[in-house]
Amino acid sequence: QRLRPLFDNFSRSTTFLNGSDFIQKLQYYCIQLDLLQPKTYFATFKIHDLYMKISHLALLEALNIFLVNPLVNGSPLNLPLIELLCHIYMHHWLYSLVTHICLKDAFYGRYKDTGFLTWNSPIDQLQTSFNKLEQELDSNLQMTTIISSDVHFLHAAIENRKGSLHTHVYHDSTIQPFLLPYDHSHPRLFHRQWFRAALIRAGQYCSSFEDFE
């Protein structure tokens, strides 16, 4: 109870609460701040099975670094402490990349085990950073990265059209189009309001009326 507020205050600026929060922050960066360039790339990364495969030693090392320097593997995702420790681990693991991004005036944020950022320099520089980060991961974990002018993140398709941001709802080709995406982290009451929530999210995600239709 004492640790979570401390970490939340420390990581709030680089954490997405949900897809809507991500879209609002991305639009502010690209439109209000006008920092999106025609050459800007989008990049995403995902750590696979973070909560189930990360070693307890890696979690404790990250916690120790966070506190001092301001079962063997895996744990149930529904344990609040394990989720918090994984957030601390991710924050520590990404510190070098986030510091580099901030120096280059880019946009970055993370939602649980996934992350999104903008990149205005040559792609090979970012790929080198990703490769270095992957080497520093806990040995049980694997990472997938995508760098392109169009990506999808938190059920949103994001595209840079010659310096103009274009977004709409992303439809996974492996899922039937008339099925609503399932999110196990939402309370049961929210599940009863899926359709309404999907319409609201579509309105937030779609940058044009044609995409909303």
pTM of the model: 0.73
Written as one string, the DSSP assignment of 122-145 is -HHHHHHHHHHHHHHS-TT-EEEE
pLDDT in the model for residue 52? 83
pLDDT in the model for residue 84? 81
Residues 2-55 have pLDDT tens digits of 677 777 777 788 889 999 899 999 999 998 999 999 999 999 999 998 888 888
pLDDT in the model for residue 140? 83
pLDDT in the model for residue 25? 93
Residue ranges of the chain with per-residue pLDDT less than 70: 1-2, 67-81, 102-103, 173-200, 208-213
pLDDT in the model for residue 193? 65
Question: Helix axis angle, 56-68 relative to 80-93, nearest 10°?
Answer: 70
Q: In whole angstroms, give the CA distance from residue 143 to residue 46.
A: 6
